[in-house]
Amino acid sequence: MVHITTSAYCSPEQDPFLLLESSLRCIEHILRCHVNQPLRRSWIEHPYGEEEIALLEEEMLPVLQRCLQRIDEIDAELEEELEAQIAIEQLRQQVAFSQGGAAPQLLGALSP
């Protein structure tokens, strides 16, 4: 799952995926705390009963969980790409320092 950390790119409040994860956790908590109790809604007089709550648990929660899982997969792919780019850059720097004049030829071979 998505983890809250300090970032140079945005604050946790600006990360929509943290909001999604937080929303999922809140919904799960509410459903656990309201077992066998109706869930009131602000926009309708009739609360959610067992049938509506079952639909939430069976249909909505798995979709949110799959969405967050896919976000984690995308994040992992991006991290792997970044680590590969960093490794290539470090290798380029090592070659440039150790080979002197041969560095441009080797650096061209390392370009993605």
What pLDDT digit, counting tens, does each position of 16-64 carry? 899 999 999 999 999 999 888 999 999 999 999 999 999 999 999 999 9
Place of tokens 């937080």: 22
Residue 87, domain member (yes or no): yes
Question: Looking at the domain assignment, is residue 6 inside a domain?
Answer: no
Residue 112: pLDDT above 70?
no
Coil/strand/helix, residue 40: coil
Tokens of 3: 């983890």
Average pLDDT, the chain: 85
pLDDT(72) > 90: yes
| Segments forming the whole domain that contains residue 39 | 12-110
Domain count, the chain: 1
**For residue 100, pLDDT beyond 80:** no
Q: Residue 90: its pLDDT value, please?
A: 93
Q: Is residue 5 part of a domain?
A: no
Range scoring the smallest mean pLDDT among 15-19, 75-79, 101-105: 101-105
Residue 63 lies in a domain: yes
2-27 in b/e form (b: 16+ CB < 10 A) is beeeeeeeeeeeebeebeebeebeee
Q: How far apart are CA 90 and CA 96, in angstroms?
A: 10
Cα separation, 104 vs 96, in Å, equals 8
Q: Which residues contact 91 (CB under 8 A, 6 or more apart)?
A: 110
**Is the Cβ–Cβ distance between 90 and 43 less than 8 Å?**
no
C-alpha–C-alpha distance, residues 45 and 43, integer Å: 7
